[in-house]
Amino acid sequence: MAELEVEGKTVEEAIKTGLEKLGVSKEKVKLKILNEGTSGLFGLMGAKPARVLLIAEGVELKDGADYPLAVSKTKQTVADILKLMGFEVSGIDAAVRDGAVACEIKSADGSLIIGKNGQTLEAIEHVVNLIVNRSSETRVKINLDTENYRVHQEERLNALAAKAADQVRTTGKIYRFDPMSSKDRRVIHLALKEAEGVETFSEGEGAFRKVIIKPKK
């Protein structure tokens, strides 16, 4: 049995994506709408994706990875690492979402797990991916979160992207963000992918890589 959580701009889009990943028709799955999503202000600020759960009996995901095993190993690995770091953890939830394992950490030490600008959370996530991905059976992308940091961070970055894009359109000058993680850079790029009058690209290497917004010619 395959269980897959999928996000999309709309419920219909999420369902379509899930069906493509499972390789089955809509009649072959049980559907549960987890979140109908919201468009947010101007389609950016406060926007939340729709999320659905698809359950298909006798189906494996197309990439052949053992997702139940990946979920189990992720939870155990995260628990072991946080224990070694001295953090108190009240719960760890993990599920397959968009072909990756989404893992939510519940802890009174959430702010410490997140760290400055999310750096500690990013580091833990990197180590967990290295450990779990050592086996081909569990070679899947793992995303960690706690206290809904990722959601709040995405909302904040979307707002910053919209403000910076307005500045570029008004002044005609290039805008440079401070260096940020690849995950945060991706949010900026996606937020302005179809924005009028501006375009984005990245420059710099490693920890100094940043997003640039410039007027579109």
Counting residues of the chain whose pLDDT is more than 90, the rounded percentage is 56
Going by pLDDT thresholds of 50, 70 and 90, the confidence category of residue 196 is very high
Q: 204 phi and psi, to 5 degrees? A: 100, 170
Token pair recorded at residue 212: 């640039």
Nearest Cα to Cα of residue 185 among 200, 165, 173, 175: 200
Hey, what domains does the chain have and what are their CATH numbers? 2-56 (no CATH), 67-147 (3.30.300.20), 151-215 (3.30.1370.50)
Q: What is the pLDDT of residue 124?
A: 97
Token pair recorded at residue 190: 């996606």
Token pair recorded at residue 93: 């939830």
Q: What is the pLDDT of residue 81?
A: 97
Q: What is the pLDDT of residue 1?
A: 65
Token pair recorded at residue 173: 């000058």
DSSP letter assigned to residue 45: B
Q: What is the pLDDT of residue 9?
A: 85
The span from the first CA to the last CA of the chain, in angstroms, equals: 50
Cross-strand partners of 217: none
pLDDT, tens only, 23-79: 678 888 888 898 888 765 555 555 678 889 888 876 666 566 788 888 899 999 999
Which residues neighbour 76 within 8 Å (Cβ) at sequence distance 6 or greater?
Answer: none
